[in-house]
Amino acid sequence: MINFFEVNETNKMIDQENLDVRTITLGINLLDCSDSNLEELKKKIYNKITTTARDLVKVGKEIETQYGIPIVNKRISITPISLVAHFDNEEAYVSIAETLDKAAKEVGVNFIGGFSALVSKGMTRSDRMLMNSIPKALAKTERVCSSVNVGSTKTGINMDAVKMIGRIIKETAVLTQDKDSIGCAKFVVFCNAPDDNPFMAGAFHGVTEYDAVINVGVSGPGVVKKALESARGADFGELCETIKKTAFKITRVGQLVAMEASKKLGIPFGIIDLSLAPTPAIGDSIADILEEIGVEYAGAPGTTAALALLNDQVKKGGAMASSYVGGLSGAFIPVSEDQGMIKAATIGALTIEKLEAMSCVCSVGLDMVAIPGDTKETTISGIIADEMAIGMINQKTTAVRIIPVIGKKVGDSAEFGGLLGYAPIMPVNPYSCDRFIARGGRIPAPIHSYKN
Amino acid sequence: MERCIITVVGKDKVGIIANVCTYLADNQINILDISQTIVQDFFNMMMIVDVVKVDKPFETVVSELKKLGEDIGVNVRLQHEDIFNRMHRI
């Protein structure tokens, strides 16, 4: 029998500690929309998205009311467009992005992810066209998110793509400079990208997936922080136990929402991404958890160990709560979306180099990092290459979402609005990697990739 | 049977239970269990109810109860019991 204490605990988590389901993401396969005629292709894509996702927002709202738990985002991920569309000019890809934007608006989702290319080994002509069209596509649309997978443990790192992306990010920044280069906030570079990630901007519907699938991302840094307050001064054993129990509860809510959404929409359930995802709201921060564990600011000595511990316990607790765990799962450390991280970066406790070290032990990597607008293309490529190498060698997913804010320098701050938050411009190592990036070609896969 | 949980929290006054229960009776919602405490003048009530006979859509009942709570100065919330079962039971 349910008791008073449990009901109060759940409702306190929702009301005061920002417990929410971060996103229901409907993955849609678009491979069957492929067509050599651009207008036909766009029509098919638009129709498939608007039919499959017709009830997504409505069902999301119903579940919110039924359980009293906020579901912050309803989103769509689609088959990487470079696999669906094969055209000879970039304009065609830009117009496809506009179609996606229109479809997203029609069904009422706030983001649609999958304007993507998978080029971990080599680039096809359509990959190249799509990548070149990214700056314009992101500047001309509002809800489209784009990603490129440039490496994996099995294939190594496609350095030609890494080089191109330095330029693409810079161009995107320039085209959206009137809004603090916000276009770059909708673009992610991956190494070892998962096929079932419900979190933007990196979400896409992989080729290993169903026709349509429901993936759910849970959140809840505030709840973990609150739970840890009760374990202040306790040793690491007890600390881990507390995180694990809380992660279990958070994930169970996600599992419930996922099953219910899957039932109501008649679409199979894919995975729960059991991640702690922060927001810029006070009390919804990963950095606050790290501080509660015992470091003065995120970035102080001990931070990487604290984050490693947090990430592992979240997975251990969550793994018991859902049998199908996937996506990125762990703790996200975006800078602009996390009040504590913003604070730490502003006072200089947190640097890009420390973030890179932290990304070795947690989900994703350099996320929502604002850098000076005059940062060189090759420097951006170099930063990406470093992060991709961490993913490749350590057989994990890593990503970079970096924003050179045109017209701003260290000491300024960039405003992205909403869930994307705001960020101080962080200093970048000024020394050059021009010759390194100019080499091109591919960094071979590491020796431990030969596991057969 | 479709069980839901109603929670009522707010400053104590005369008639809270009467108001909530009248609404439930009017809408064919059966009360299965009630527990209630007063902590430092604050009224805390939890009810387990069966909503199987109610003919209004769930969201209407949720918003009408919320409205009723606002009228008498307390916070009334209706949630499906599954969220609590899932979170707290292995």
CA–CA separation, A46 vs A358, rounded Å?
40
Q: For the residues A280-308, what does the mean pLDDT come to?
A: 94
The verdict on a CB contact (< 8 Å) between A253 and B87 is yes
pLDDT band at residue A359 under the 50/70/90 scheme: very high
The answer on pLDDT for A282 being more than 90 is: no
Q: For A95-152, what is each residue's pLDDT tens digit?
A: 999 999 999 999 999 999 999 999 999 999 999 999 999 999 999 999 999 999 999 9
Size of interface A-B (CB pairs under 8 A): 58
Kindly determine whether residue B83 and residue A4, on different chains, have CB atoms separated by under 8 Å. no
Judged against a pLDDT cut of 90, whether residue A44 lies above it is answered with yes
Is the predicted pLDDT of residue A452 greater than 80, yes or no?
A: no
Which pLDDT tens digit goes with each residue over A380-404? 999 999 999 999 999 999 999 999 9
Q: Check residue A291 and give its pLDDT.
A: 95
The 10s digit of each residue's pLDDT in A198-230 is 999 999 999 999 999 999 998 889 999 999 998
Q: Provide the b/e sequence for A51-90 (b: ≥16 CB within 10 Å).
A: ebbebbbebbebbbbbbbbebbbbbbbbbbbbbbbbbeeb
Contact A336, A420 (CB under 8 A): yes
User: What confidence score (pLDDT) does residue A385 get?
Assistant: 97
Which residue's entry shows tokens 């590491």?
A446
List of domains in chain A: 23-191 (3.20.70.20), 216-373+380-443 (3.20.70.20)
Contact across the interface for A62 and B58, Cβ inside 8 Å: yes
List the structure tokens of B39. Answer: 């902590």
Note whether A161 and A448 are within 8 A (CB).
no
CA distance A68 to chain B (A): 6
Domain ranges across chain B = 3-88
- Summarised one tens digit per residue, pLDDT across range A143-202 is 999 999 999 999 999 999 999 999 999 999 999 999 999 999 999 999 999 999 999 999
**Cα B85 to Cα B90: distance, rounded to the nearest angstrom:** 9
> For the complex shown, is ipTM > 0.90?
no
Are B87 and A11 inside 8 Å of each other by CB?
Answer: no
pLDDT at A279: 87
Split at pLDDT 50, 70, 90, the class of A358 is very high
The topology (CATH level 3) of B3-88 is Alpha-Beta Plaits (3.30.70)
Output the pTM of the full model. 0.92
Mean pLDDT of chain B: 92
Neighboring chain B residues of A65 at a CB cutoff of 8 Å: 58-59, 62
Taking contacts as CB-CB distances below 8 angstroms, the residues of chain B near A69 are 83
* Antiparallel, parallel or unpaired: β A366-372 and A187-191: unpaired
pLDDT surpassing 80 at residue B28: yes
Give A6→chain B minimum CA distance, Å.
7
Q: Write down the mean pLDDT value for chain A.
A: 94
**Main-chain dihedrals φ then ψ at residue A370, nearest 5 degrees:** -95, 130
Within 8 A of B84 by CB-CB distance, chain A residues are 2, 6-7, 10
pLDDT at B18: 94
**Of the candidates A1, A4, A10, which has its C-beta nearest B83's C-beta?**
A10
Q: Which residue of A has its CA nearest to B81?
A: A67
Q: Is B3 exposed, middle or buried (0-12, 13-18, 19+ CB in 10 A)?
A: middle
Task: Kindly determine whether residue B84 and residue A253, on different chains, have CB atoms separated by under 8 Å.
Answer: no
